[in-house]
Structure 1
Amino acid sequence: MTETRTLRADAARNRRELLRAAADEFRERGPDASIESIARRAGIGKGTVFRHFASKDHLMAAIVTDRLEDLGGLAESLAGAPDAGAALADFLAASAERQQEQSMAFLAAADPAVLREAGVEEVRERMFQAVYALVDRARGQGAIRADVTGPDVVLLMCAPTHVAEPLAKASPDLWRRYLAIILDGLRPDGARNLPHPAPPAPLP
């Protein structure tokens, strides 16, 4: 039994290392990163990669699933915080920081059918629901404006790093400025009526 647990732990660790190497390779080279270069970076053979993942698209799907589960877990861990407004701010800051470190722009090249097959949509929806719960609590405590919805905040998660992306190399912490602007915009103080209805839930 101990040997079985050790083997499972080793397999889980190897998978994490492979996903980390793949994410780094995709971030540096984009969707053209090869399985061979990913395997070399992970210190394994190309055949080992294919034993874990049927294709490069499946590898991409595993990376995004891992990231979404991470964000969902973070949102869930903050769900019971006494100060719901601070919890939401902490989540948005952590989310933006992780996106800055771990760009997933390469996913635009992934096959949507593979993403669906890998269950990415289900994991994404669970993450959305965890974020919506944070937003509901913050709104209930009056920490954010009453007309801000969960889908609003999900869309804003990507905004700080997206806006700062053209200057990311020259000013890697610039996203923090835009996060602060967003957080100020969420607060009820001085809020004006929004000119457009909130996006639908679930998001497309």
Structure 2
Amino acid sequence: MTRPMRADAARNRRLLLAAAADEFAEHGLGASIADIAKRAGIGKGTVFRHFATKEDLVAAIVLDRIEALVAAGERLGREGDAGAALLEFMTIAAEQRQQRDLTFLHAAFDGHPQMARMHARLLAAIDALVDRARAHGAVRPDVTGTDVFLLMCAPNHVAEMVPDAPPDLWRRYLAIIFDGLRPEGAHPLP
């Protein structure tokens, strides 16, 4: 049986994960544990009490981010308007990436058994949202969960291509993408 984490340990873990995410976003995988600990306001020993290796720390960041999306997807799957729920999920996914683009960490953690399980949970949550949106006529009948999974980061990718873009430009492209998912005026997909 796993004991619950003490409040100070849970706080340190949250601080550590946020500091590590910031360091990795700024310095890539070369970010040092010493700099992460300093940014979190904790000692290096505390880092290693929580995570035996840097890879374990990367894994925790990736899993926390995916878990947040899974939780949002599951919560939204129980809300009233199926189309609004799917759009809100896609907005949350884009906002998460906008806050701190750590997609490169996923590749470093790829192939890990926990990643495969969490990825499957994320896809199941997205499939449920899309199935519900299709059943309510909010999205075209040929849209799949895989389509939405692949489109989740697209608004950010497009906005990154525009030099000196306003920080919320991704919202424009999310609206265009979501309009493309709607059934009105849809043409058959290849």
Q: Which amino acid aligns with 2:184?
A: D
Question: What is the aligned partner in structure 1 of residue 161 from structure 2?
Answer: 166
User: Unpaired segments of 5 or more residues in structure 1?
Assistant: 196-204
CA contact (8 A) 1:168 1:174 kept: no
- After superposition, the Cα gap between the structure-2 partners of 1:68 and 1:87, relative to the gap in structure 1 and judged at 3 Å, is same
Inter-partner Cα distance in structure 1 for 2:170 and 2:29: 24
For 2:108, the equivalent position in structure 1 comes to 110
User: In structure 2, what is the Cα distance between the partners aligned to 1:105 and 1:130?
Assistant: 19
**1:150 maps to what in 2?**
145
- Structure 2 equivalent of residue 198 of structure 1: none
Bigger CA drift: 142-151 or 102-111?
Answer: 102-111
Deviation at 1:47, TM superposition (A): 2.1
Unaligned runs of 5+ in 2: none
Q: 1:202: which partner in 2?
A: none
1:98 corresponds to which letter in structure 2? Answer: Q
Question: Is 1:70 the equivalent of 2:65?
Answer: no
Who is 2:44 aligned against?
46
Question: Kindly tell me: are residues 190 and 177 of structure 1, through their superposed partners in 2, closer, same or farther at Cα, counting changes over 3 Å?
Answer: same
Q: Is residue 2:137 matched to residue 1:137?
A: no
* Letter paired with 1:27: A
C-alpha change, 1:168 and 1:22, in structure 2 (3 Å) is farther
Q: Which runs of 4+ in 1 moved over 3 A?
A: 166-170
Look up the equivalent residue of 2:35 and give its one-letter code.
S
Question: 1:110 & 1:80 partners in 2: Cα distance?
Answer: 33
- Say which SS state the counterpart of residue 47 (structure 2) adopts: helix
Q: Percent identity?
A: 60
In structure 1, the partner of 2:11 is 13
Letter in 2 for 1:158: C
From the superposition, tell whether residues 168 and 15 of structure 1 become closer, same or farther in structure 2 (CA, over 3 Å): farther
CA distance in 2: counterparts of 1:30 and 1:187, whole angstroms: 38
Distance across 2 between alignment mates of 1:40 and 1:169: 32
8 Å contact 1:128–1:154 — kept in the other structure?
A: yes
SS at match of 2:45: helix
Aligned partners of 1:25 and 1:106: how far apart in 2? Answer: 13
CA distance in 2, matches of 1:168, 1:17: 32
Tell me the amino acid that sits aligned with residue 155 of structure 2.
Answer: P
Q: CA deviation at 1:106?
A: 3.4
> Which residue is 1:192 aligned to?
187
Given residue 15 of structure 1, which amino acid in structure 2 is its aligned partner?
R
TM-score relative to the length of structure 1: 0.86
> Is the Cα–Cα contact under 8 Å of residues 27 and 106 in structure 1 kept in the other structure?
no
Partner AA of 1:106 in structure 2: F
| Deviation at residue 133 of structure 1 after TM alignment | 0.4
What are the within-5 Å matches in structure 2 for residues 51-130 of structure 1? 51-107=49-105, 110=108, 112=110, 116-117=112-113, 119-130=114-125
- Find the counterpart in structure 2 of residue 201 from structure 1: none
